[in-house]
Structure 1
Amino acid sequence: MTITIEDRPHVLLELLWIREAHRLDPVGAALPPLLVDRPEAASRPVDDATRERWSAGWHRIWDDAVAHAATEPDPALFDRALDLTLSPGERATLLAQLTGPTAQEEFGTEVLDDPAYRAWERRGSEAHLATHLRTIADSPEHRNVATLADAWRRGLVRVVTLPCRGTYVREIGSRALLVTDDVRNDAASYRTALDSFGRDSSPRR
């Protein structure tokens, strides 16, 4: 049994920061909860018209990024990207397939060049590193291995986590599960989420 745990999905984190730091108000189904570590307002705020346009487009790029986060990287793409005979355009296309949608595509190349983002990202990285000090025996997957194995038999190969508040569980594609850190770190909640995989595709909050 092999399960990938993606507990620092960078593009998703960037989009969550943009939503809150720029005070966006996106609409749509299955929106993720607010971040646990609420960021300060962006150091470079945008005008109302831009904020409205960003709010309208946020959900679409979020769904695209979530769908990409559900996929396992294709090693063949890495090998092809190293081919010296590729044109710059061909290499860029391959790299886009590897990285998936990015926040900069929708919100501009300078959106993350912001002191407020750097401060928030640094706090998140430090908190993430601290969680890796625990032993394998203390990991949520080890504590819930029987339920995890059952979910794997139903097709689960990847769990993606978000540092958002409360309970949020969403199947992404046919082989991945999106949950909050709160869900993963609470044994009973994680077992419930894993047990739901492959049975009910509707999101829960």
Structure 2
Amino acid sequence: MRSSAPMPGNPWPHDMSITVDDRPHNLMELLWLREAYELQADGDDVPPLLVDTPVAVQDPAVGAGTRDEWEGAWPRIWRAALAHAGLDHDPRLFDELHTTANGSAERAELLHRIAGTSWRDEFGDTAFDHDSYATWSHQRAGAHLATMPTRLEDQPERRDLSALIPAWRAGLTKIVTIPCVSDFTRRVGENALLTTTATRENSDSYRRALSTFV
């Protein structure tokens, strides 16, 4: 969403660049895990429930002690993953990746900087080895494609450009959306905004969300 020179008749500022991440992988995994394992995570910065409720996982290996450990870790990992999701990523990191050796500490560090913090870093992959996760992920992918605007002018950022420009001038460069119910908006770092899909799809609520950045 940027042009190299002003375009006559185009209201979009030619030097304005906005990134929209509407499928933040690590955040999506954490949101699924919270509901699939019925974890209780409280706090003002904890997002609302998912629009599409996943099937609860009944795993005998996840006992009360494990659940307590997960509930204690979830808010911390969420905050770290969200902070990374809000970053404007440096494309040069991918170029650097090609100069590192497989299995090297340098490559591992670069991969972490690119991918960010995830649940799997601390607890491995086993929590996601269930049909509930595969089914939910497939359904979410279909729902995402079905709701994508087909015309440029229908994109929320184009639709609400008059509210987006002041937010960009105040430092906004990235918008992260999550498929949760109701309105939920949080500023992430110095440059990003977290909203729900419902907030972004509705002009009134999206304009309110963008105004919180100004």
TM-score class, shorter-chain normalisation, is over 0.9
Residues 77 and 134 of structure 1: CA distance in aligned 2, closer, same or farther (over 3 Å): same
- Secondary structure, aligned partner of 1:68: helix
Matches within 5 A, 1:88-167: 88-167=104-183
Establish whether residue 28 from structure 1 lines up as the match of residue 28 from structure 2.
no
- What are structure 1's unaligned runs of at least 5 residues? 199-205
Greater gyration radius: 2
CA positional deviation for 1:84? 4.6
Poorly superposed stretches of 4+, deviation over 3 Å: 84-87
**1:13 equivalent among 12, 22, 28:** 28
- Cα RMSD between the aligned structures? 1.4
Quick one: distance in 2 between partners of 1:44 and 1:97? 32
**1:185 equivalent among 177, 201, 210:** 201
Deviation per residue, 1:63-119 (Å, 9 max, x gap): 000000000121121111101557622111110111010121233221112110000
Quick one: distance in 1 between partners of 2:172 and 2:100? 36
Establish whether residue 56 from structure 1 lines up as the match of residue 96 from structure 2.
no
Which residue of structure 1 aligns with residue 54 of structure 2? 39
Quick one: distance in 1 between partners of 2:200 and 2:20? 10
- Is the 8 Å Cα contact of residues 43 and 114 (structure 1) preserved in structure 2? no
TM-score normalised per structure 1: 0.92
TM-score normalised per structure 2: 0.88
| Letter of the structure 1 residue corresponding to residue 107 of structure 2 | R
Deviation per residue, 1:23-73 (Å, 9 max, x gap): 101233311000010111125351111111100110000000000000012
Query: 186-195 vs 21-30, which deviates more?
Result: 21-30
- What are structure 2's unaligned runs of at least 5 residues? 1-15
Quick one: distance in 2 between partners of 1:113 and 1:85? 30
- Secondary structure, aligned partner of 2:114: helix
How many residue pairs match? The answer is 198
